Amino acid sequence: MQATRRQVLIAALCAVSSSAANAAAQLVQTPYKAPMKVVFEFYLDDPATLSNALFWVRSVFNTVQASPYDFSPEDVQAVVVLHGTEIAATVIRNQDRYREAVERMRYYAQMGVKFKVCGQAAHDFGYTPADFLDFIEIVPNAMTELIYWQQQGYALIIPRILIKRESTEQIR
C-alpha cells in the first residue's frame, strides 16, 4: 500500500512539473502610482560610462510614461547625485568631450530631474561652482544628500555599469 501511495504522489508531481515546464511567462502590470520618487547614485570609475548610467534614468521615465501608466514628466520626481569621475562630464570645459551625456542630462533637467554634484568630490577634482554647467547644483556631500532624499521617501537606485563581452545573440 505504501508503494502505491508513493507511485501516485510521484505521478502527480511529474504531471505538475511537466505542465509547468510548458507554461509561458505571465506579463503583469504592476500598479505604479504617482508620484514616483527616485534618487539615483552615480559613482562611476570612468566618465565615459555616464551615458550608460543615464539609461537607468531613461528606463524609469519610459516605463511609467507609456501605457497603461501614462505618467506625465511631473509625476516622476527624480534626483541624480554624482560623486565619482563622471563629475568631469558636468563641467563646462568638458561638455564637447561628453556631448552625448551632457545633452541627455540637459534634456532630463528640462523634464525636472535634478542633477546634484558632491561638493567634496568637486573640491577634490579642483573644480569651483563656476566650472559647472548651468543645470548642475553643488551639494555639500553625496552621502548626506543620499540620506536626505531617502528620508524624503525617495527610492535609491544605484546603476551598475558592466562591460558586455558577448552580443545578445551569443548570450541567447
Q: Where are the alpha helices (DSSP H) in 22-114?
A: 50-65, 99-110
Environment class of 9 (CB within 10 Å of its CB; exposed 0-12, middle 13-18, buried 19+): exposed
Mean pLDDT, residues 117-122: 98
Percent of the chain predicted with pLDDT > 70:
88
- Residue for grid cell 577634482: 125
Above 70 in pLDDT, residue 169?
Answer: yes
- Report cis status (omega within 30 of 0) of the bond before 35: yes
**46-75 pLDDT per residue, tens:** 999 999 999 999 999 999 999 999 999 999
What pLDDT shows up at residue 4? 65
59, HSE (Cβ side, Cα atoms, 13 Å): 10
Which CATH number, 3.40.1260.10, 3.40.50.720, 3.40.50.1000, 3.40.50.2000, labels domain 36-162? 3.40.1260.10
- Distance between CA 120 and CA 28 in Å, rounded? 43
Whether the full predicted model's pTM is greater than 0.85, yes or no, is no
Residue ranges of the domains in the chain? 36-162
Query: Quick one: average pLDDT of 99-127?
Result: 97
- Other CB atoms closer than 10 Å to residue 135's CB: what's the count? 15
